[in-house]
Chains A and B, each alone.
Chain A
């Protein structure tokens, strides 16, 4: 039987070196709430686990004038308890709060949610709508990439072997801006998104939408940024007809599959509803944010 080694490096450099030396047989371990399940079912059989929770740069939250730097291994519970973050990016917190239970959130991380690359990951659409950027380190050094460009399909990412996402970077929230994330699940909690929709929008002084981003989850092989849906509300008061166009654009951009969690047809119906409802919440938050 094969053996599995466990390492808990204290620095990013050590983590990068461990991963480089393992040449492919290694896995990064954050909260383990996805990884342990994959280990137990035998879907993955790594020879090395590199636990990144002991690396200070990855387990801290930094807020300054340029925005928020969220360590990729900070637990989701810690994120939900960060007052300033919740104040400025309530939609990102909406996404985080949906993930699992309090116990799951006590372990799980944003880095894990992103890099596990499930199309239904709940924090990802909100991060994409917020314009978040992933900070990455690897054998070739550091780089930054928009969150929207990390996942390519279920379990697949653009990360090259040995690369670690160290942090998620969020800008400061602009005035008259708001964000929101909603998902549809048959149960109210402890469920996987059948459809997820995140909307970020900014209003000008007259209440006209000047900027918007719409991101959808669980309706394609990865979370989608849908500029057509954003275009439907930009330049409008985000009123009924504009919202109907946004919903229609969200439907048009979706390429869902049939699976045990929902049919293609149902997902196409619901994605418009969720996108519209998320936009209504984001609008309300933008109006209050003066």
Chain B
């Protein structure tokens, strides 16, 4: 058994961790051999397609599928009647919570359709053309209802109501009338009234953000095959195959052992592939048609029907003394949950002020249902929305007080021992180190060009652990095959895992081949979410490697007939313990493995853990912008992202995470938004009019990796994937303010909005 203390961080000399080898999945990706969701096919497969609601909100009076079912080539048609209704039951899915009553209704509408794109029926046919033709033959009788998209509009008493039985949770007494406010959360500490009374200066502002898409390039795709003995196989592009298995089992009322999920290579997810969509439909269609069924979403379906993140409205109030101490902070966050409750408002509320050491805080979070697809996680779910508001207000406060923005943050910085307002005291963290590294960076001092502006903002994310498993098989030739249960969401975690295993075993990196196991090869793994991949996955890999090493030592002890304590593991060899009376000829891993069959059987290491002790991550971003004062166009001139990642196992892939998060944040700040027309229909369901940044929009994004080791990980890993998307929104808004003297409270800062603000400021100045 591996003792827990062995898993604490220990500084030591490392050979592989911290280097930059090529990723094991790289060659297949650049040669086009990698198999993504849509690349998997089976003989005799059918194509499944979904009929979707053309209305934002309507009652389904009837569904007639008879003409579709009669079309030659159609092998199965399903609708709400093919699925059991589900009672309220909550489960964790990534960083958000789901309720099976809602999941089944989101998968296939029951009483009402609640958004443009909501599934109403599905068909499986011998070709895509026949499947599409069949969809046109399905008759749905709708009673169209008024709809609501905007979060503030949805909170008005006369707003169209999505769920007639939804009484706000978290308010006492229970409200007399149902509303779109699904839940109200409150976090509080200290006495904010007293705190504001002690303040010399108060900043109070309101901010709004639009719903945005994760921007993964691969649309959701799956293939299901249900056999006559009631077993289902599923191939899908997912961030969590075990969680998908559990949800499919629940929705289809199957036993978990009867579903086997094989994850495909994933073309991006960022939280968007934490949830099932077509998977249970494909299994149900296969069950009904007795043929494998493949379902690949179009980009338009991805936009209309899968979860983006919320649009939000945030009110912030800050009080500070003249010398820069924040005396009180409050915020009220209202987030679009989409058609069903469960937005990221809870983590957003917890992240809002957790970069600062505050005595008096109150944060209220409102989870609001609106006629949009149910939101999903998106990289640090909710935190960028909260940080846009709070870090903008912090910037304004620093300016009012005449204190440099980094100094103001340093005065109030959270540190080890800071009591959070949502529960725990912070352990060892690197916020101050991160701010100091940003201040020391040449970018911070570089002179600005005429009319250019510079902005600073910071971000915090918890990072998580959870259930994680791994198996390490020592092969006959002394190489090792690593089976991991945490999906490599394309960030390179297979490389990081193999590096940690190679470091432990003392063998070269390329002797360890990592694979993602299917759900039948390992015990349950939580979703790759919460930046847990390299932290929790790495922990499992290290435990499995140490388990294997124990067995290797034990085997050598028996072969050489020495006590176990006399055998040490060093540089890929079993060697006699220094100073031990029992000396013996060392054995290499290859020698032990070659004899394993005859000396007691094959050797493998295992880990089945619920990983605890995640280390929070902090980032500080510096950005320079130029604004075209005649067109309102904002250009990002220079960007530096500084972040404490605990330990960068593979620095190049950590840098990639930092750069990728920044790019997504830039898109969120400048151009991205879901545009709904007056009927609540999505007007821009594609990448032409939903504008994620392209390469030529961006400067090279500079990164600085700060390493304040997480004491609860053998290599000090914290996790790094989510923090980098948190700061860009506010950093860019702060830079634009610095350039123009105009602060934007509403994202995106698209050219028409910026130009209008420039015009208004000019008009106001000429009047004055």
Contacts and interface: CB of A to CB of B under 8 A. Distances in A.
Interface string A268-282: 011001000000000
Contacts of A190: 687-688, 694
Contact of B752 (A187, A189, A262): A262
B679 interface: no
Interface string B68-97: 000000000000000000000000000000
A191 B631 contact: no
Interface string B251-270: 00000000000000000000
B194 interface: no
Contacts of A184: 631, 633, 751
B696 A189 contact: yes
Interface in A66-88: none
A183 B755 CA distance: 17
Nearest to B687: A190
A45 B696 CA distance: 36
B130 A189 contact: no
Interface in A177-199: 184, 186-192
B755 A266 contact: yes
Which secondary structure dominates where chain A touches chain B?
loop
B671 A1 contact: no
A269 B691 CA distance: 22
Contacts of B144: none
B630 A273 contact: yes
Given A266-B755, A273-B631, A188 B689 contact: no
A261 interface: yes
Contacts of A158: none
B129 A187 contact: no
A273 B628 CA distance: 11
Contact of B697 (A1, A188, A273): A188
Interface string B624-644: 000000110100000000000
Nearest to A40: B298
B675 interface: yes
B51 to A, nearest CB: 14
Contacts of B696: 188-189
Contacts of B688: 190-192
Contacts of B671: 186-187
Contacts of A186: 633, 670-671, 691, 750-751
B755 A1 contact: no
A206 interface: no
Interface string B200-235: 000000000000000000000000000000000000
B683 A270 contact: no
A255 interface: no
A189 B633 contact: no
Interface in B640-698: 670-671, 675, 683-684, 687-689, 691, 693-694, 696-697
Nearest to A261: B689
A260 interface: yes
Given A184-B631, A262-B752, A191 B129 contact: no
B755 A269 contact: yes
Nearest to B688: A192
Interface string A89-127: 000000000000000000000000000000000000000
Interface string A229-273: 000000000000000000000000000000011110110011001
B694 A187 contact: yes
B750 A189 contact: no
Contacts of B675: 260
Contacts of B14: none
A261 to B, nearest CB: 7
A269 B758 CA distance: 12
Contacts of B693: 187
Contacts of B684: 260
Interface string B499-539: 00000000000000000000000000000000000000000
Contacts of A187: 671, 691, 693-694, 697
B133 interface: yes
Contacts of A260: 675, 683-684, 689
A261 B688 CA distance: 10
A260 B133 CA distance: 30
A1 B133 contact: yes
Contact of A1 (B129, B630, B631, B683): B129
Interface string B717-761: 000000000000000000000000000000000111001000000
B246 to A, nearest CB: 36
Contacts of B752: 262-263, 265-266
Interface string B327-352: 00000000000000000000000000
A216 to B, nearest CB: 16
Most buried by A among B631, B671, B687, B688: B631
Interface string B414-441: 0000000000000000000000000000
Contacts of B683: 260
A10 to B, nearest CB: 30
B76 to A, nearest CB: 19
Contacts of A192: 688-689
A1 B125 CA distance: 14
Nearest to B759: A269
A189 B694 contact: yes
Nearest to A42: B132
Contacts of B751: 184, 186, 266
A247 B87 CA distance: 64
A187 B408 CA distance: 35
Nearest to B750: A186
A260 to B, nearest CB: 5
Nearest to A194: B751
A41 to B, nearest CB: 8
Contacts of B691: 186-187, 191
Contacts of A1: 129-130, 133
A270 B696 CA distance: 22
A273 B758 CA distance: 15
A246 to B, nearest CB: 15
B349 to A, nearest CB: 32
Interface string B521-561: 00000000000000000000000000000000000000000
Nearest to B690: A260
Contacts of B697: 187-189
Contacts of A273: 630-631
A51 B347 CA distance: 55
Interface in B611-632: 630-631
Contacts of A265: 752
B212 to A, nearest CB: 14
Nearest to B133: A1
Nearest to B752: A266
Contacts of A261: 689
A262 B752 CA distance: 8
A6 B372 CA distance: 41
A187 B633 CA distance: 9
Contacts of B633: 184, 186
Most buried by B among A184, A186, A191, A262: A186
B701 to A, nearest CB: 16
A275 to B, nearest CB: 12
A1 B128 CA distance: 12
A35 to B, nearest CB: 16
Contacts of A269: 755
Nearest to A1: B133
Nearest to B698: A188
Given A186-B691, A261-B689, A269-B755, 16 more contacts: A184-B751, A187-B671, A187-B694, A187-B697, A188-B696, A189-B694, A190-B694, A191-B688, A191-B691, A192-B689, A260-B683, A260-B684, A260-B689, A265-B752, A266-B755, A270-B631
Please provide the 7 A-B residue pairs with the shortest distance between their CB atoms, ordered closest to farther: A266-B752, A188-B696, A273-B630, A260-B683, A186-B671, A189-B694, A189-B696
13 contacts: A1-B133, A184-B631, A186-B670, A186-B750, A186-B751, A187-B697, A188-B697, A192-B688, A260-B675, A260-B684, A260-B689, A265-B752, A266-B751
